[in-house]
Structures are given as structure tokens and as C-alpha cells.
Amino acid sequence: MLLTLILAAAIQLIPAPAQMQVRGGSFKVDPAKMSFVVDPASGLPEEGYTIDITRARLKVVASSEAGLFYACQTLRQLQMADQVGHDALVIPGTTVIPGTTVIPGLTGNLLNLTGNLPCVKITDYPRFRWRGFHVDPCRHFLSVEETKRYIDILSAYKMNVMHWHLTDDQGWRIQILKYPRLTEIGGSRVEFDGSVHEGYYTQEQIREVVAYAAERHVTVVPEIEMPGHSTAAARAYPGLTCTKESISTFYTWGSPDFALCPGREYMFEFLEDVISEVVQLFPSEYIHIGGDECKKDKWEKCPACQARIKAEGLVADAAGTAEEKLQSYAVRRMEGILAAHGRKLVGWDEILEGGLSPNATVMSWRGMEGGIAAALAGHDVIMTPSHDGMYLDHFQGDPKIEPVTIGRYTTLEKAYKYEPVPEELIKNGKASHVLGLQCNTWSEYIYSDSQREYMMFPRAFAVAETAWTPAENKDWESFRVRVDKACRDLDRRGVNYHIPLPEQPGGSCDKLAFQDKAVVSFTTTRPVGKIVYTLDGSEPTSASMAYSKPLEFTESAVLKTASVTSYGKLSPVRTITLTKEEPWPAQPAAAVESGLKAKRADGRFTKAADIKDVPWKDVSIKRLRDLSTLEPFNRNLPDSTVFYAAVAEGFFSVEATDTYRFSSDCDQVWIDGKLLIDNGAEVKRYSRHDAEAVLEAGPHSVKVVFIYNVVGGWNSIRNKTDVLVRRRPDDKFSSIKML
């Protein structure tokens, strides 16, 4: 019994199978004693399989080719704990059972079994038929080879749909032969700093990826956005918009105030032409048409749109505005185009607004509500709610130390514990309308392949288990142990992934100050093997001092720390500077003035060091937050946009001599003439360079530098330009109060 329990603990499968019996003992791999068959009459569910391993033989039976493929992925993970799976195989000696079919191509490129396998009996099948993952090359392009790598990894964990987001405001990434300007113009963008981001897939490359995915039983579902998120198309063909105006490069995130014009037949003719080429490239049952975040302002003023509204009798009522019903009309037209090609429409949950097309499938991203409403009305749905763990572009640790993201907070545990079938649907007998779930990795703030991997993994494994494993078999405590083996598989593949960083409870900070003593504590978002640290300037290793209790400092120090996994791999290293200092003296009363002095200089500046020999002019502001209001916000960023730098100076006061932590999204913050915060040319959507100082009670000077620019796609005029402060041990920041 003890041996069986030990073996069971060593069998760490993701996703967990429906049923598994551990027998004890092992089977030495011998091709003459192995059989792999497909038996449609096996009684197994679609994509299901059984693996039966004894000391004498290995037998795999599957209900379909896909089932056999998934069985092979399980065998790859079943190799003994001290072995790492391989990708290539020849499985000779296949036994044919009468009335069954042997997989064509089973003698190539599935896996390579070596050594010993544990004796087990597994019966397995998926919970959902849509087990999706999403990639977004529109904002930051990824190559064909990198795309294939995601297919390789996620198909190995039984994911079977790749949602390929191919068109958006920031780029059109699919070649359409009839409209070459879509990729010639819409396939590249000039960034704020003059650099060019470009890339698209030729139709031959599309076919290559689709075929590659099909070999791994992954269906590629393309997304062609309409009627919103279509600026890249409108840049190439301005006649698609209501005003027919020429549109500048859209190089910021979010969506501009442009949409295609459903009042003109040209829009539908264009989409029909595009779809006629798309369906030749993608054999998928579904085509995704977007339908989200469509700005309708221009429709309200467009004669053609208003004429269409009148002609179609689209009247505002409780179901939506006339313009929302116009979008519904456009989606129904799109559904008809797809139906003519034998395809089905899937769209984001905004397609519910104004009335849902008769046969549309809803991808519910703004929460569960859209999916529930659609399912109750008899429509199929795919659950992918952003706030419930399905958006992998969210922070997965303390935002103060993790790479900048679009925001929100989704840990591995949160992603794992998401349940896609609401009780309301179960009670109403509509649960079968939930086709499955999907994780999305939007790439606005993902600037490299390595960062994309860091955001996707290991959270995508959590989604994979929810999509495949029966709900009653899921167990977080088991999964967080099993995920380490999956991460070792990523190491073998050379894939980057997230390891929880050591975080300071109450908010991390890398620049600490103290007068007498400082105490530094650490935690992690999930348990790791250990936390290690050094104090001599050297880089931590797995053999460095292990953190076991809060660290106390009475002298200045440089602390370097990292997490170590159970298998000895380190997280990125954090360097924390602790400075013992005397309080910065308060400013003399005679030097203190009330109010703010501010000035601005117009120009395209990336960082504070760029502001040289420029003409300044005085401006009047009442609050620091007014620094970002010196020009009106325009999400479209037309060529007429005036960018600028601004500097504000004044005084604030602290009540007691103590340590104070400062935070700001501005480019620089100076306290008493010392540069305390320097955000440089970093994306400043969220502050990540907090710093502490010991201040004497009384008034202190502050100077703030703010630059209106676009760095990494983030429009800084949307920043909050306050300077925030908190006194130790307060856990909440508040705006400094100017004198």
C-alpha cells in the first residue's frame, strides 16, 4: 500500500484524468509489448481514451484520432519522475483489433517513450469540447515559429482551440489578396518614437500554421474584427468609415472613435470579400467577428447610418439604442455571410446588445452575465470572463515589482478555481450550452516573446485542467504541486514562465529608508520551495541563505532576494536598497511659498533627459493632477496633437519625523532637491518605482516632471499625476497636501 501511495504521488498529470488506478510496479518500454488502437465502438466519449499498463504490456484504446493523440500526451507525462518527456516518436508494433482503425502517421512525431512507465489504468475524456487559448499578434506581432510553439505546448496539455486575433486597430495581420493595402498600410504602424512595428502572415503561412495545428488536433479560429476595432482596415481603405477621412497610425492602446460604416453597402461588400478568402484558409466551424467595444458616436451623426436605421425600422427601446440595434443588424448580416459559406459566427458578448443574431455563439468576456443571458436564450456560449481568471494579461503578483500589464490581478490560484458553468444554468437545464472556456493573452503590454510566455505560463495549465478534468476531480493543493512538473517541461522547451517573486506584505518597494531600524518581511503568491537572499552584493543561488523570518537592519545594506522552486530554479532577482539616514531637514519658513509654480514646453519628449534648450512658458494649475490636463485628451491621437513636458514646484508638510514612502506615475519626483523617483522612459500606466525617505516634521519642497507622450503604447495624458505618500506603517497612499 505504501509503495502504491508513493507511486501515485509521483504520477503528476496535468490535466488530471477522469479516472486513474495505480497498481504498483512498472513496465519497461518494449515496442513488441505495446499496442495503440482507435476503436469508435469502444464506448468512450469523443476524444476519450484508456491507458492500461501492467508489468507485461501497454495497451492504449481511443475513440478517435484525437483521443489517441491525448493518450500519447498522457504517456509522455507518465514517464518516471527522473525522466523528461520527448517530442518525437516511432511507436512500432501496433496491434490492430478487428473493427478498429490504427492512426495513420502514428509512426511519426508523437512522442518517444523510453525507460519505465508506472503500472496504471486510466480512463480519460474531456469535460468540454472548447478548450481554448488566444493569441494576439495585432498589438505585438509573433512569428510563425513562436505561434507553433504555443500550439505544441498547449496541445500537449489537451487544449484544442487556438483563437487567432488577426485584425484590430493597431494592425491587420492576415494577407487578403483582393485588398493588398490591408497589410501594406494596416500591417505596420509608426510608433511615437519613430520606430516601426510591422508584420503579417501570408496566406501560405496561415495554411502552414493551420495544418500544423490540425496535426496536433488544435482547431484555429480566426478573428476578423467588425464593426469596431477596425482602424487598421480603415487606414488602408478610408471609404469604410462614416466620414471617409484619412486616418493616422493608431499606436496607442484602447480603441479610437472610428468604426466601420454599416450605413453603406461597401462595408458589407468588403467584409464578404474578406470572409470569402478567410474561409479558404481556415476549415474551422466557427469564425470570430469581434463585435466588442464599438464606438458609435459617428453613427449618430452619419446620414448613411441614420438612413439605414430608418429603412430597417430600428427603434430605440429597452433592448437598446437605435445605434446598438444597427450593430445588431450588422452582426446579423455578417452571420448571413458566414452561413453562406457553411460557417458559424462567434463574437464577444457585446453582440447581445440590440438583439442577438439567431444562431450566434457568444464569447462572454465582461463577466458571466452575458454568457448566462445567451445560454438562457438557447445560444451556445464560451466562458472567458476577464475578472474571473481567464485573462492572462493581468498582474500575477504585486504590481509594484511585476512587469507592467493592463491591470487587474489574476494569480495562478484564481485562474485554477474558476468554474465556467453557473448554477443558474444548471437549475434551468441550460448547462449544455456552455461549450467550454478560453484563456486570453492580449498583447498590448507584452513587448517580447519571453514576456508573453511569462504571462501565459503556468496559468494556462490551470485553464487546461478546468477545461478537461471533471469538476469533482479538481484540487488546488494537488495542482500547485503538479504544476512544478509542467514547469520543468517548459524548461526543457526553453520557455520562460512566472515564478512567484518575494513580495513585501502591504506593498513591495525596492528603495527603503530608515533612521534607526528597518524590518523586511517576504511572502509569495503561492508556496515555493524557499526564499533565498544575499547581503554581500552577490547574486542569490539556491544555496544562498534561506529566509525564515523577517530580516532586521540597523545599517545600510543591499539585499538581493529570489524565490526558489521545489526543483531548484530561481525567480528573477529583486535588489532592495536599504539606506540608513538622518532625517531630511524641513525647509526654513522664509523659503516656503503657497501654491504651485508650473511651466510647460511643447515637443515630443520620451524622457526627462530629452528636455534640453526648449522654450518654457508659465502655466497656471491648482493641483498636481492638473499637469495632465494642459491639452485635451483625444483617444484618436490625430496629427494635430500637441505633446508637451510640464514641471510643477511647490511645498508640502509632514506632521512627524518619520519614514515616508512616495509613489507617482510622473516621470520624475524631486523632494528637497533630491531625485527620489525616476520612471525614466518606462511605460507609466502603473507606478513601479516607489521610494522612501526619512523626513523631518515640517515643510518640504517637491518638484514634479510630467511628459505627455506615448511610451510602449500607453498614452501618458491618462496618468494620474498626483504624488502619493504614506507614512510607515500605513498601508494606504494618499495625495500629498500642497501648502
Amino acid identity, position 437: L
Which residue in 39, 124, 136, 168 is the catalytic one? 168
Q: Can 293 be counted among the known catalytic residues?
A: yes
Measure CA of the first residue to CA of the last residue in the chain; give whole Å.
74
Report in angstroms the alpha-carbon separations of 560 from 185, 645, 690. Answer: 47, 35, 17
DSSP 597: E
Which residue in 134, 140, 197, 229 is the catalytic one? 229
DSSP secondary structure letters along 172-191: B-B--TT-THHHHTTTEEE-
Report in angstroms the alpha-carbon separations of 605 from 252, 322, 625, 642, 667. Answer: 16, 43, 20, 11, 11
Q: Outline where 354-433 has alpha helix (H).
A: 369-376, 412-416, 423-427
Which residue in 191, 292, 293, 413 is the catalytic one? 293
Quick check: helix, strand or coil at residue 212? helix
Query: From its phi and psi, is residue 184 left (phi > 0), alpha (psi between -120 and 50) or beta?
Result: alpha
**CB-based contact 562:574 (threshold 8 Å):** yes
**523-542 as b/e: b if 16+ CB within 10 A:** ebbbebbbbbbbeeeeebee
**CB-based contact 528:482 (threshold 8 Å):** no
Closest CA to 83 of 395, 489, 376, 578: 489
The values of phi and psi at residue 434, to 5°, are -80, 100
Q: At 328, list the grid cell.
A: 445588431
**CB-based contact 463:415 (threshold 8 Å):** yes
Q: Can 217 be counted among the known catalytic residues?
A: no
Beta strands in 92-178 (DSSP E): 116-124, 130-135, 161-165
Report in angstroms the alpha-carbon separations of 338 from 55, 286, 341, 684. Answer: 53, 9, 5, 42
DSSP 214: H
Helix (H) or strand (E) holding 461: helix 459-468
Which sequence positions are flagged as catalytic? 168, 229, 293
